Chains A and B, each alone.
Chain A
Amino acid sequence: GESVGLHLPTLSVQEGDNSIINCAYSNSASDYFIWYKQESGKGPQFIIDIRSNMDKRQGQRVTVLLNKTVKHLSLQIAATQPGDSAVYFCAEKAPWDTGNQFYFGTGTSLTVIP
């Protein structure tokens, strides 16, 4: 079946540096993507989303890039802070009419070194 996966399971960055977290998806029909942040012991928290008719979207300190040609998604975090340490998931929306389900990748654990 189709799946969402991440290239790097762990990432360590120095505080103040920029972080890039990558995600590969295999369902070319997926039309909506979300990045979630999950801190230890908590539920996922929405960070930023992007639709398939866009290739870039910016938020506060975060940017999501979508490359549909190679089915690749990335999350860029500017000036990474210790509070950014968490597991980051990309999720794709199943392009079916009946639901609003999202399919999650395995996740990348980001550690920010002070």
Chain B
Amino acid sequence: NAGVMQNPRHLVRRRGQEARLRCSPMKGHSHVYWYRQLPEEGLKFMVYLQKENIIDESGMPKERFSAEFPKEGPSILRIQQVVRGDSAAYFCASSRRQGPRNTNNEQFFGPGTRLTVL
């Protein structure tokens, strides 16, 4: 019963290159969340997706960042033309189907992808 999987675990890119981060949610989970964590800081919400839909991208920078969660395959967080400030750990979490507003679905986190921009 695999948990949330992320790959690669470590990614090094030069400024101006593209970074693609992948997240496979837990089996049975259809909700995916991406967070960014800078060194010695908390996690910052970026985007919330369901299959083929972006539900909330209010935490994602307007430029260079995009996310998708296709019908088949993992969720992808894509960062174009990376800059040094993009260096961080990017965590993906998944949860089961969203219930009524007053129920809460625990988010299970993956091990993260550590992006280093040279």
Contacts and interface: CB of A to CB of B under 8 A. Distances in A.
B69 interface: no
Contacts, number: 64
A104 B91 CA distance: 13
Interface stretch (B12-20, B42-50, B70-78): B42-50
A66 to B, nearest CB: 14
Given A42-B111, A43-B112, A44-B91, A99 B48 contact: yes
A36 to B, nearest CB: 8
Contact of A100 (B43, B44, B48, B59): B48
A46 B93 CA distance: 11
| Interface residues on chain B, size class | 20 to 34
A105 B42 contact: yes
Given A89-B43, A100-B31, A43 B105 contact: no
Interface residues of A, number: 27
18 contacts: A31-B102, A32-B104, A42-B111, A43-B109, A43-B110, A44-B43, A45-B109, A46-B106, A46-B108, A49-B104, A93-B104, A99-B48, A99-B55, A99-B98, A100-B104, A102-B107, A104-B43, A104-B45
B62 interface: no
Contacts of A100: 31, 33, 48, 95, 98, 104-105, 107
